[in-house]
């Protein structure tokens, strides 16, 4: 696949995941194409999804899709996207550290703002805000037909945010979820 092909495929995939798309197979293929491009060509994917806020607005439509497998594909795509953004931030941080080390030997100069890092934090904050919107409790007596899809999508997104944050957050998440999934085994005592 050529780089020009990715420039064509990403907008086409974003079009497929739009809220107006009626066919679930097209929505699923669109979200899956985005994930695969993120995995295969992360650098090109990064340049094709910036500005991130516009991309995420399109992507969040699949978070509350009526089909569970599309919501799960959304979570996998979000994970791949956040990993791409984290890798770009780390690479930029490493380059800035090298520049700073060189500057310490000579005159100290001002560096331009770290756009990749700010892009990651913008994306993370936007995703967290969207997850919290989905998890807000609806106090109305009538049941919203998409309530369960919203909650499931919000939990999937929150899980991905915790997974990419750090291993300690993933462990915390597992500790929080564990009491609700199975009975805790009693501690073993050898006294």
Overall domain count for the chain = 1
Residue 185, in any domain of the structure: no
- Which residue range forms the structural domain that includes residue 57? 3-136+147-179
State yes or no: pLDDT of 20 exceeds 50: yes
Query: Which uninterrupted H or E stretch holds 92?
Result: helix 68-105
Instruction: Report if residue 105 sits inside a domain.
Output: yes
Asked if the structure places residue 81 within a domain, the reply is yes
User: Residue 188: inside a domain, yes or no?
Assistant: no
What SS3 state is found at 141?
Answer: coil
CATH code, domain carrying 17:
1.25.10
Which residues have a Cβ under 8 Å from the Cβ of 55 and sit 6 or more positions away?
A: 14, 49
pTM across the whole model: 0.74
The per-residue pLDDT for range 85-116, each reduced to its tens digit, is 988 888 887 777 777 766 665 544 444 445 54
In a domain, 187, yes or no: no
Q: Is residue 184 part of a domain?
A: no
- Of residues 17 and 140, more confidence is placed in 17
The answer as to whether 141 is a domain residue is no
Residue 49: both structure tokens together: 């999804």
For position 111, what pLDDT does the model report?
Answer: 47
What is the DSSP code (8-state) at residue 166? -
Is residue 106 domain-resident?
A: yes
Cβ contacts of 127 within 8 Å, gap of 6 or more:
56, 78, 82, 157, 160, 161
Per-residue pLDDT of 44-88, as tens digits, reads: 999 888 888 889 999 998 999 889 999 999 999 999 999 999 888
How many whole angstroms separate alpha carbon 49 and alpha carbon 54? 8
- Phi, psi dihedrals of residue 137, rounded to the nearest 5°: -80, 130
What is the 8-class DSSP label of residue 113? P
In degrees and rounded to multiples of 5, residue 50 shows phi and psi of -90, 140
């Amino acid at each position: 696949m050529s780089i020009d092909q990715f420039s064509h495929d990403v907008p086409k995939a974003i079009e497929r995941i739009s809220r107006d798309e009626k066919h679930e197979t097209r929505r699923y293929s669109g979200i899956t194409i985005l994930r695969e491009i993120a995995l295969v060509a992360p650098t090109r994917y990064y340049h094709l999804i910036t500005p991130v806020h516009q991309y995420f607005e399109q992507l969040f439509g699949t978070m509350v899709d009526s089909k569970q497998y599309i919501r799960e594909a959304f979570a996998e795509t979000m994970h791949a996207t956040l990993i791409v953004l984290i890798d770009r931030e780390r690479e930029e941080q490493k380059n800035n550290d090298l520049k700073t080390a060189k500057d310490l030997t000579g005159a100290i100069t001002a560096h331009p703002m770290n756009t990749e890092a700010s892009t990651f934090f913008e994306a993370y904050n936007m995703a967290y805000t969207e997850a919290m919107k989905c998890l807000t409790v609806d106090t109305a007596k009538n049941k919203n037909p998409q309530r369960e899809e919203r909650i499931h999508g919000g939990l999937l997104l929150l899980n991905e945010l915790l997974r990419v944050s750090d291993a300690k957050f993933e462990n915390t998440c597992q500790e929080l979820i564990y009491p609700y999934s199975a009975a805790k085994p009693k501690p073993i005592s050898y006294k």
